[in-house]
Amino acid sequence: MIIRRLSIRNFGKIHNRTMDLTPGINVLYGENESGKTTVHQFIKSMLYGITRQRGRASKNDVYSTYEPWENPADYGGTMWFECRNEDFRLTRNFYKERPYSELLSEDSGAITDADKGSLDMLLGDVSEAVYDNTVSVGQLKSVTGLDLVRELQNYMASYQGTGDSSIDLARAKQMLKMTRKGYQVQDDRNRRELQKEQDKISANMEYVNREIAEIRERQEEQKEHSEEENRRTVQEQEILRQAASIGSRMKLCSFFYTIVFAVCIVLALFVFKEFNLRAAVAGVGILSLLILALRIQILKKQKIQLRKIRKRLKRRQAEADRQTDAISAELAEKKKNYFNLKAEFQEYEDKKYSRSTQQDEIEALTLAMDTIEELSGRMVNRMGEDLRRRTSEILSEITGGKYEEVLMDEQLHMSVNTEERVIPLERLSRGTLEQIYFALRMAAGELFTGTEPFPVILDDVFGMYDEERLLGVLGWLSREKRQVIISTCSKREMELLDKAGIPYRRLPMQEEME
């Protein structure tokens, strides 16, 4: 792409300004604050439009920054450029209420809406982010040596791994890792909490289990006890039976004595007439009556005793039965308790192995990390070596062959190879670091913009260059046949270009007093 002409109608502080550019070197010269950056932003905004920020951020976004104070409705301009061997005219008005974009093919006369894809087609692989990374080259920001080295190494690594020098891949990965760690810790804590609850139930189950064992033991004892009782019952029943047989024998005896008594009385009263005989028979009768009374007395006592024994027996039996029942009821209750605890235990088990919300986050973060790793690896494979090789070539050319090769190891440490030795970046002067940086940006520009070369905007990049280095770079730029816009606030570049006889066009920001 070659920019032919800019016509800025209203953009930031610039009004109605037209600039014609050459396909070679253009020097945009002006004091600080004279509007050079505005020109850069104009070019970019023409190509990519202005994406508005939302919410609070919109107060300081690009749109607001470059919105003209007067005539805000007339916000934009026109740019003529050549792309893929065709001439175009691009006109835009950024005004938010009535945005307008028109792309005219000057060759075919076709007019299209630039925002509806026609411009994207022309720009091809050069997205806004790629443009930011390759077309517009600023100065290294760091001031001191070590920071500078780190910055440069980051640039190289980012270009290789992300194609975007504004992305700090290591920081991004670290951020994801930390977030994942946070969720991991939370998840672990929740699981521990669940485990604790489950352990409690488990302990409870053990306790109930022990109780069940105890009850079983008691049941056993009770059984023995009742067997013992049974034996005693059998014994006592024996006694009862004996007592019963004794009773019946006694009844027989009583019957016998009653008969004897009756016979004696009959004999005494009616048979025997003689007194002595009568008295003797009556005596025997009375004696048997006495014996009978005695017997009856004994029998009564025995009966009472037997009844007592029987009662005791019954009571003991009932007591034993009651206890047996009570124990088996207790056992049943404990078993139920145990069963319920087991069900609860299982619920925790299920919960433990169910998915937590944290796990979703952890999985998502892992997927993000893996995907970034994978895609970045692919990018390194695609670009990494080419970028290093092309950087080396450019570096060699602008230093007149002093440095032949740029090297980068696994830890992303960079060094340069001279004819004789390898020198780590830390040992190089700021000037040389700037040269490596320049070579890197140029190489990136070529690699990332694809087949159609894009202009390069060098924004105050040569401040730290000595004369020799600057000449080397300018010479290389003129040989490369790329459109270059050198943006500067000093006249050094122009003086050197004049001195070296390199053709260029001046684009003064202020009207020059010549």
Partner 1 sequence: MRFIHLADVHLGAIPDKGCAWSSKRQEEIWETFRKIIEGIRKNPVDMLLIAGDLFHRQPLLRELKEVNYLFSTIPDTRVYLIAGNHDYIRKDSRYRDFQWSENVLFFRSESVRCVKDPLLDVYIYGFSYRHREIRENVLEGLQPDEGEGMHILLAHGGDDTHVPLDVKALSAAGFDYIALGHIHKPDILLKNRAAFSGAPEPLDHTETGPHGYIEGKTVNGRLKISFVPAAMRSYETITLLLDEESTQGSLEEELKDRILKNGADNLYQVLLEGTRSPDLMLIPEKLRMLGNVLDVTDHSRPAYDLEVLRRQYHGTLAGDYLDYFADRDLSPVEEKALYYGIQALLG
Chain residues that interact with partner 1, rule: CB under 8 A: 48, 51, 54-56, 120, 125-130, 133, 161-164, 167-169, 171-173, 175-176, 179, 186, 193-194, 197, 329, 332-333, 335-337, 339-340, 343-344, 347-348, 351, 357, 360-361, 363-365, 367-369, 371-372, 375-376, 378-379, 448
Report in angstroms how near the CB of residue 350 gets to partner 1 at its nearest: 12
Report in angstroms how near the CB of residue 57 gets to partner 1 at its nearest: 8
Neighbouring-strand partners of residue 80: 5, 89
Closer to partner 1 by CB, 196 or 421: give it. 196
Report in angstroms how near the CB of residue 358 gets to partner 1 at its nearest: 10
Report in angstroms how near the CB of residue 442 gets to partner 1 at its nearest: 17
Dihedral (CA of 424, 429, 434, 438) sign: negative
Q: How many CA atoms lie within 13 A of 106 on its CB side?
A: 14
Report in angstroms how near the CB of residue 196 gets to partner 1 at its nearest: 9
Closer to partner 1 by CB, 127 or 153: give it. 127
Three-state secondary structure readout of 346-378: HHHHHHHCCCCHHHHHHHHHHHHHHHHHHHHHH
Beta-carbon count within 10 A of 298 CB:
12
Closer to partner 1 by CB, 351 or 430: give it. 351
Closer to partner 1 by CB, 31 or 128: give it. 128
Q: Under 8 Å CB-to-CB from 436, ≥6 apart: which residues? A: 152, 391, 395, 403, 406, 414, 416, 425, 428
How far is Cα 389 from Cα 382, in angstroms, rounded to an integer? 13
Work out the angle at residue 37's Cα, subtended by the Cα atoms of residues 85 and 134, and round it to the nearest 5 degrees: 50
Residues in the chain: 514
Q: Under 8 Å CB-to-CB from 292, ≥6 apart: which residues? A: 254, 257, 258, 261
Closer to partner 1 by CB, 445 or 472: give it. 445
Report in angstroms how near the CB of residue 373 gets to partner 1 at its nearest: 11
Dihedral (CA of 127, 131, 132, 134) sign: positive
Closer to partner 1 by CB, 130 or 416: give it. 130
How far is Cα 130 from Cα 140, in angstroms, rounded to an integer? 18
Judged on CB neighbours under 10 Å (0-12, 13-18, 19+), 264 is buried
Report in angstroms how near the CB of residue 55 gets to partner 1 at its nearest: 3
Euclidean distance between the first and final Cα of the chain, in Å? 32
Report in angstroms how near the CB of residue 44 gets to partner 1 at its nearest: 12
Report in angstroms how near the CB of residue 473 gets to partner 1 at its nearest: 26
Neighbouring-strand partners of residue 25: 484, 504
Closer to partner 1 by CB, 211 or 229: give it. 211
Report in angstroms how near the CB of residue 317 gets to partner 1 at its nearest: 22
Report in angstroms how near the CB of residue 169 gets to partner 1 at its nearest: 7
Place of tokens 């009472």: 304
Closer to partner 1 by CB, 177 or 223: give it. 177
How far is Cα 102 from Cα 459, in angstroms, rounded to an integer? 29
Closer to partner 1 by CB, 34 or 127: give it. 127
In the chain, the amino acid numbered 239 is: I
Closer to partner 1 by CB, 361 or 404: give it. 361
Of 268, 266, 260, 263, give the one whose Cα is nearest residue 292: 260
Angle between helices 430-449 and 385-398 (to 10 degrees): 130
How far is Cα 30 from Cα 487, in angstroms, rounded to an integer? 8
Report in angstroms how near the CB of residue 151 gets to partner 1 at its nearest: 17
Closer to partner 1 by CB, 55 or 501: give it. 55
At 399, give phi and psi (nearest 5°). -105, 15
How far is Cα 68 from Cα 10, in angstroms, rounded to an integer? 6
Closer to partner 1 by CB, 49 or 508: give it. 49
